[in-house]
Amino acid sequence: MKVCCWGARGSVPVSGPEFDCYGGDTTCIEIRSRNDALLVIDAGTGIRRLGCALVEQGRLDLTLLFTHTHWDHVLGLPFFKLLYNPRVRIDLYGSPGLQGDIGKLLARVMAPPLFPVPFGSLPARIKGCVWQGETLQVDTLRVTRIALSHPNLGAGYRVEEDGKSFVFLTDNELSQHHRGGRSFEEYAAFCRGADLLVHDAEYLPEEYPSRRGWGHSHFGDAARLARAAGVRTLGLFHHNQERIDADVDGLVLRCREMLTGPGPAPECLALTQNSSFDL
Ligand SMILES: [Zn+2]
Ligand SMILES: [Zn+2]
């Protein structure tokens, strides 16, 4: 499978030369199966650039899945060009039980007077779909989910194909239990042996005490999870809106130090809005 990141910023998009490397767009992840089936997770502002690329490719079908509907994860949706093409077919999934009906939630965001085009009037053929049990199959991609520890809930996902695995856990606070969230051990079990774990690392450990309960982790907790789960690569994600490139570089160096110790250490990097991985 191939995993591409179109937005790695958290909370609100940012711009300016000091953000050139890691980028200013918010959450959007593209996953391709070996047969080129397309799964997109979240519609932060990064989905605008993804949409432009898909138009160039002539792509007319995809599956769209959401972690949750905080602004930074839906903000780009109205500007996703494929929504305005009647030939496009989109299978839309939320995570029942972990969030409300995703179609109804998006219809609240994309509605006058907040946006002139109502979600229900979009030209694309958007089919609201439901999970059959705990697993979602998109072509050869097998998707499972876990509840996030985050205000207003949400879901994290594990995507597997041909023995390779990608875990996406953003907006997840490992050191604070939010209603519906899971224990550290349960998250570690969910991430076990992943080839790539992308986890929320919004804060520095020294910033965290004053932001406890806001729904995000510091990089030390993400590192602890990566080691406990024995993942191959840890990707730090949901970069704070004030974190300029040099600060993110420093955060990665500190995280790598924290990952060393007995046994094999996971590789560590911070995702940019142009990162891609072949698993
Ligand atoms: Zn977020
Ligand atoms: Zn959130």
**10 CA from centroid of ligand 1 (Å):** 5
What are the tokens at 191? Answer: 């991430």
- Contact of 167 with 157, CB cutoff 8 Å: yes
Amino acid in the structure at residue 200: D
Query: Which ligand neighbours the alpha carbon of 214 most closely?
Result: 2
**pLDDT 10s digits, 204-245:** 999 999 999 999 999 999 999 999 999 999 999 999 999 999
Q: Residue ranges of the domains in the chain?
A: 2-272
List residues, by chain if needed, whose CB lies under 5 Å from ion ligand 2. Answer: 70, 171
**263 CA from centroid of ligand 2 (Å):** 33
| Overall fold of domain 2-272 | Metallo-beta-lactamase; Chain A (3.60.15)
**68 CA from centroid of ligand 2 (Å):** 7
**pLDDT 10s digits, 154-212:** 999 999 999 999 999 999 999 999 999 999 999 999 999 999 999 999 999 999 999 99
Count of other CB atoms within 10 angstroms of residue 109: 16
The pTM for the full model equals 0.97
**57 CA from centroid of ligand 2 (Å):** 31
How open is the CA angle 260-261-265, to the nearest 5 degrees? Answer: 50
**101 CA from centroid of ligand 2 (Å):** 17
Query: Cα separation of 35 and 67, whole Å?
Result: 24
Question: Scanning the structure block, which residue is given the tokens 């049990």?
Answer: 133
